Amino acid sequence: MSENTWPDLYETASESDDLVMPDQPLPFLGDLVEFLDEEDCERVLEVACGEGRNSQRFVEVVPDLEGCDLSEDALETCEERCGDAMTTRHADVRDLPYDDGDFEPP
């Protein structure tokens, strides 16, 4: 698998205004959102947030949500969906630019 598979896929999709992934959050996400809310998680990192299909739900209960993804095109879509409700960062999951303890424990 090419190292740039996801960014290439998102770039191709962005040229045609297509989404790479469905725009609706995953079906089981309600349970996770409920858990984050019950645990009063204040600062959460969503790794590989992509186009923000799940981020849309996380921002409902997490006041300080940060998302990162390898694709800048995907992050643009995520930012359009979530606006100022979250912070995004271009980052590779294999080398995350965060310190241990920056986010809530699971």
Task: Give the pLDDT score at 61.
Answer: 96
pLDDT at 1: 45
pLDDT, position 16: 64
Structure confidence at residue 59 (pLDDT): 97
The 8-class DSSP code of residue 33 comes to H
Q: Comparing C-alpha atoms, which of 20, 12, 30 is closest to residue 77?
A: 20
Q: Tell me, what amino acid is at 85?
A: A
pLDDT reported for residue 18: 65
Q: Which burial class, exposed, middle or buried, applies to 29 when counting CB atoms under 10 A from its CB (0-12, 13-18, 19+)?
A: middle
Q: Please, what CATH class does the domain formed by 5-94 belong to?
A: alpha beta
Which tens digit of pLDDT belongs to each residue from 79-106? 999 999 999 999 999 999 999 989 877 5
Task: Give the residue among 99, 54, 64, 56 at the shortest CA–CA distance from 81.
Answer: 56
Q: What is the pLDDT along the chain (106 residues), one digit of tens a residue?
A: 455 576 776 666 666 666 666 677 888 899 999 999 999 999 999 999 999 999 999 999 999 999 999 999 899 999 999 999 999 999 999 999 999 989 877 5
